[in-house]
Structure 1
Amino acid sequence: MSKVWLVAKREFSYNIRRPAFLFTAFGTPLMIFGIWIFIFLVGTGSQSSGEQTNIFAYVDSASILADETYSTLVDEEEPEGDSYTFVPFANAQSARNALDANEIDAYYLIPAEYESGALVERVSYEDVPFSVNFALNRFITEQYGLQMGVDPQFLPRLSNPVENMNVTLLDSGRQYEGELPVILLLLPLGLGIIFFLAAQSTSQFLMTGLVEEKQNRIIEILVTTVKPRELLIGKVIGLGMLGLLQFVVWVGLLLLVYFMAPYVPFLAEFMTFDMPYDLLIVGFIYFSLSYFVLASGMAAIGVLV
């Protein structure tokens, strides 16, 4: 076994200095993270330069809304946060003039046939947050409720009866509030990408290394001192450790960002989920087993070449 670990140590120390491995293991995650930060900063910069007012006009040709200004919070869980304001206008032309003067971000045209199924039309120069549609729906629902004599204290529940829901998944025992956390969808996908990158890079090192040793007749010297079985097992273990190192680097960067998020404003906005550590553990086990199976197959192919 000492010869196996000697071969594994040599493969690990030799290939870890390859520029291709260093770029895949360290450069790629840092580059992806840097691109993500750049896109976020550009996006927030364009939003701030747009001078959004969070004020929206509506022209009610169906006479279903009260002729008054309506304000609602962007996030009901943040009472001190921003709010959307809907202002009534007499006609579409006056609303268009206000839009051209940057007094409003958009205006909505409620047609006279709205109650018969006609669609509401939104007019704006740029896209507006999707949450504005929820705010408008809440406004219309509350107005309908008042017309039907619903107690005002029940209007918030009427406008969104199942806004938050406690969900329990019996197969995993996982519990969460609201919609399925995005991390539960993205994390398995990310682990699959890591497996693909690690398998592609290190399996290439394994096959090219075997071919080079056969062409340079180094393999003939090795087999006189090391059994072929020990040689292949050592190579698989050494390159397998390289693959696990890539996994650790990627997951370590994810955990670093997760724990730094509360102290970085633009990260705190997105890192509002609980880290599913059980998925990381399962992913590590799956990665290890699948990787060594693939490495064994690549070693066999490399010997036959």
Structure 2
Amino acid sequence: MRYLLRKLAFYLVALWAALTLNFLIPRMMPGDPVDILLAKVQQRGGSVDPATRRAYELMLGADTGESTAHQYVSYLWNLAHGRLGTSVSDFPAPVSSVIATSLPWTVALVGLATLLSVLVGTGLGVVVGWRRGSWLDSLVPVTTVLSAVPYFWLALLLVAVFGSALGWFPLLGGYDVTLNPGWNDDFLRSAFHHGVLPAITIVISSAGGWLLGTRNMMVSTMAEDFVLTAQAKGLRNRRIVVWYAARNAVLPTVAGFAISLGFVVAGSVVTEQVFAYPGIGSKLLQAVQNNDYALMQGIFLVITIAVLGANLLVDLLYGLVDPRIRANG
């Protein structure tokens, strides 16, 4: 229990520090979201007076008449009550609805593709590490080269071949725009069809790292005394691989996987830009371009919670797997 309380206290302090940076960084950027929104109003023929500007400042949470300390307290108070503000980029939609609309696309695409790449890379790494020196070792340099290829270049190559030349997959978008989004067969099939190519790109570019890491850990684990003892006892190879070697070799993979899940949201920007995918990464880039403080802070909040939650999960899992960590923690 003391180990759990210490971890929770540490991550609460880390969350407060991240929220503070989340408040300060957007305000250090040049430009003003109120000016951007008022410029859009003027382009449409609207008139802007001091009262209108004051109303927009209060609505967007960018009140230049208040001190930074007062804005910080208001920011924390609004967060505690679930009020994330109004988005300039998607005005007048609230930030919470923008995130709720775009986040499922990112989680479904990048999250599932990350899970698939970890399973494929780890599984192949276990087999290659167990059969080291065989022809399976030729998979290591191939996957390493694929992992070193810039992601955007690999994505454009797959789009040119499988999307443009062969026409097997759509080039852009997350679904057929002629369909109404919803839980119906036509829309789900269209969303799946549009997501196959981005998912394959993620798997190809990231599975090699998991394979190489797991393979090296398997080779190291196979030289441990407990594995040699199991072999000397005449245990079946399958039992030795699964319960002795792989069980210990995949521990770093578990930690890396949990942390990579935390970065699913942050790592989706390039993916969604190349494929014009309607996820939260595109919304983040749009928010930066429009100095949308509220939307940037909302997305950064989601990223912060995801990363801290993933790290907390790793610490708790390691505490369960290895009691020595709890004793020393």
TM-score bin, normalised by smaller chain: under 0.3
Question: If you compute each CA radius of gyration, which structure gives the higher value, 1 or 2?
Answer: 1
Identify, as 1 or 2, the structure richer in helix: 2
Identify, as 1 or 2, the structure richer in strand: 1
TM value normalised by structure 2? 0.22
Higher relative CO (Cα under 8 Å, sequence separation at least 6) belongs to 2
TM value normalised by structure 1? 0.24
